[in-house]
Amino acid sequence: MKLLLVEDEVRMADALSELFRQEGYDVDCFYRGDEGWNALKTGVYDGAILDVMLPGLSGFEITEKCRKAGNLTPILMLTAKGELEDKITGLDAGADDYLTKPFQPGELLARVRALCRRTASSWDGMISFGDLQLHKDTLMLHCITNSESVRLSDKEYRILEYLASNQCRILTKEQLAVKIWGYENEAEYNKVEVYLSFTRKKLAFVNSAVEIKAVRGVGYELRWSHE
Ligand code: CA
């Protein structure tokens, strides 16, 4: 699970990042609202935790921009104690949940688990697309029309999971690189095509009618030719 944290109190931000990492999340942390928004709009995060008062853009403004852009990343807002107005404004702006400062780490983790569960549990360990089933626990790719299966590598699984959970969108090479290899790793862009070709071979191996289509100059999408 990939989280975005935007918090301008550096000590708090670093402590929370560490907490999330210990829980096994992959966290990107920004101290400014505008930088946080630039990261969030890439669409690669499974959840975002936003402070309200931030330099650049406020947590509300980020949330509003996000929803206006059709980006449905689950958002948890961190509000100052007793600012009821803030909570209402935050939820109106499109946040999914809020947590009042100060809070216990355990409560934050519980809220974040609930926040991300929406994405995760709707798959219930298995993602379907066209004639394909992707099994999270075993990394097996299964084609239901001919019962053929093959085991995916971790990266291949994550590529197909990401493409399959964004069925109406074309994903850019940058989005795939950021999602699969991490935010800092621009050098990894070239690996995307290599791993896409491995993944295409697995799709061909199980004789699936699903293909990873390159949309010239834009990116990649899954397409199912079922006629
Ligand atoms: Ca703040």
Q: What are 75-109's pLDDT values in tens digits?
A: 999 987 666 677 777 777 788 888 888 899 999 99
CA of 63 to the centre of ligand 1 (A): 15
Closest CA relative to residue 76, chosen from 106, 107, 49: 49
Residues near ion ligand 1 (Cβ under 5 Å): 8, 51, 53
CA of 199 to the centre of ligand 1 (A): 43
Low-confidence ranges of the chain (pLDDT < 70): 81-84, 117-125, 167-168, 183-188, 226-227
Predicted pLDDT at 127: 79
CA of 86 to the centre of ligand 1 (A): 13
Determine contact, residues 13/5, Cβ cutoff 8 Å: yes
Quick one: the chain helix, strand, coil %, rounded to 5? 45, 25, 35
Global pTM reads 0.60
CA of 31 to the centre of ligand 1 (A): 9
Determine contact, residues 75/45, Cβ cutoff 8 Å: no
CA of 158 to the centre of ligand 1 (A): 34
Predicted pLDDT at 133: 87
Predicted pLDDT at 120: 47
CA of 43 to the centre of ligand 1 (A): 23
In whole angstroms, give the CA distance from residue 125 to residue 118: 12
